[in-house]
Amino acid sequence: MDQTRFRLRIFLGVMLAVLVLGTVGFTLAEGLPLYDAVYFSIVTVTTVGYGDISPHTPLGKVLAIFLILGGVGTFMGVVANFTEMLISRREKAARELKLYMVEGIFFSELGSELLHLITRGDPQREELSGELRVKADWSPGDFSRLQERLVAYGYEVDPALVDLKEVRRLLAAKTGILLRLLENPAISEDDGFTDCLRAVFHLKDELYHRRNLVELPASDTAHLAGDLKRVYRQLVMRWLSYAGHLSRRHPYLFSLAVRLNPFDPQRDVVVRS
C-alpha cells in the first residue's frame, strides 16, 4: 500500500470517529434528533455552517469547538490526500503507458525473436507454447490467471538446443537499441522491465566474450543455462504483461502480437481466413 492511500485511510478513520462522537454528543447534550445531530456534525466538520442549527448548552458549545478544531483539519486532510491519490493514479497510468510503448519497441526489434530462439531450448516448450497460445478474445482475467500459473513454471533451458551463435549475433546487432531503451526516461529502476533489460545485457556480454560456443565444458554450459533461464523467465512474464495491455488498450496492435506470437511454431504475420 502506498503512503498516500495509507494516510487517506487514517484521515478517513479519524474523521468518521469525530463524526460519530459529534453525533452522539449533540444527541445527548442538545437533545437533537439523530438526523439533526448527524447533519449538524457534518456541516460543522466541512465548514459549511448554514446557521440553521446551533448549540445552546455549554456542553454542546464545547463539543462544537472540538469538532471545529479536530474535525475541520481532518476533513481537509481527507480532501488533500484524496486529491493527491487521484493525481498519483493519473501520473502512474501515464508512466505505464509510456513504459508499454518502450516495451513494444523492445519486442518488435528484439524481444520476440530472442524469445523464439530461447524457447527452442526448453525441454517442456510444448507445454509452455500450449499455455501461451494467446487468443484474440482473451479477457484481462485470462491474462491474470495465466500469469499466476506461469510464476511456478520451471523455465529450464538446455543450451545445446539453443542456437547460441544466432543469439549472440542478434544481441550484438541490437546493442544500440538496448542502450537507447535503457536511457529512456519512461524506464525506472524499480520496474520489472529494467530487470529484464539487465538480464539480456548480461547474456549478451557472456556470449560476446566466448569465441567458441560449441565445445564448452559442462561447468560453463551450466553457467550459460542459468543466464538463459533468467532471461527466459523475464521475457515470458514481460511479454505476457505487454500482450495483456495491448488486448485492453490497442486491439489492432494486439492482433499483430497474436500473429507474431513467439511461442507459436506456426506463427505467421499474414492474415488468413
pLDDT at 155: 92
**Rounded Cα–Cα distance for residues 253 and 214 (Å):** 38
Q: What is the pLDDT of residue 190?
A: 59
Grid cell in block for residue 175:
546493442
Average pLDDT, the chain: 87
pLDDT (0 to 100) of residue 189: 61
Stretch among 28-37, 67-76, 98-107, 164-173 having the lowest mean pLDDT: 67-76
The answer to which of 26-30, 171-175, 200-204, 218-222 has the lowest mean pLDDT is: 26-30
Cβ neighbours of residue 223 closer than 8 Å, sequence gap 6 or more: 206
Q: What is the mean predicted confidence (pLDDT) over 9-36?
A: 87
Q: Quote the CA–CA distance of 165 and 167 in Å, as a whole number.
A: 5
The amino acid sitting at 212 is: N
- Annotated domain spans of the chain: 3-88, 94-259
Confirm if 126 and 271 have CB atoms less than 8 A apart.
no
Q: Rounded CA gap, 30 and 19, in Å?
A: 15
Distance CA 35, CA 41 (A): 10
Give the pLDDT score at 252.
Answer: 86
**pLDDT tens digits for 123-132?**
988 888 788 8
pLDDT digits (tens, 9 = 90+) for 182-224: 888 888 765 788 899 999 999 999 999 998 888 889 999 999 9
Instruction: Identify the band that residue 273 occupies on the pLDDT scale cut at 50, 70 and 90.
Output: low
Residue 86 pLDDT exceeds 80: yes
Question: Quick one: average pLDDT of 42-65?
Answer: 82
Q: Are 186 and 98 in contact (CB under 8 A)?
A: yes
CA 141 from chain centre, in angstroms, equals 15
pLDDT of residue 77: 84
pLDDT at residue 149, as a whole number: 87
Average of per-residue pLDDT across 97-105: 88
How confident is the model over 2-29, as a mean pLDDT? 86
Confirm if 230 and 187 have CB atoms less than 8 A apart: no
Backbone angles phi, psi at 178, to 5 degrees: -60, -45
Give the CA distances from residue 12 to residues 5, 7, 65, 143, in Å, rounded to whole numbers and listed in that order. Answer: 10, 9, 20, 34
What's the predicted TM-score (pTM) here?
A: 0.71
Question: Over pLDDT 70: what percentage of the chain?
Answer: 98
3-state secondary structure 23-87: HHHHHHHCCCCHHHHHHHHHHHHCCCCCCCCCCCCHHHHHHHHHHHHHHHHHHHHHHHHHHHHHH
pLDDT digits (tens, 9 = 90+) for 248-265: 888 888 888 888 888 877
Specify the pLDDT at position 176: 92
Which amino acid is located at 105 in the chain? I
All cell numbers assigned to 57: 448548552
Q: Assign a CATH topology to domain 3-88.
A: Helix Hairpins (1.10.287)
User: By mean pLDDT, which of 127-131, 173-177, 205-209, 226-230 is the weakest?
Assistant: 127-131
Query: Could you give the C-alpha distances from 104 to 96, 246, 273, in angstroms and in order?
Result: 12, 9, 26
Query: What SS3 string covers 183-221?
Result: HCCCCCCCCHHHHHHHHHHHHHHHHHCCCCCCCCCHHHH
Kindly tell me if the per-residue pLDDT of 93 is higher than 90. Answer: no
User: CB within 8 A of 214, min separation 6: which ones?
Assistant: none
Cα 19 from Cα 25, distance rounded (Å)? 10
pLDDT for residue 82 is more than 70? yes
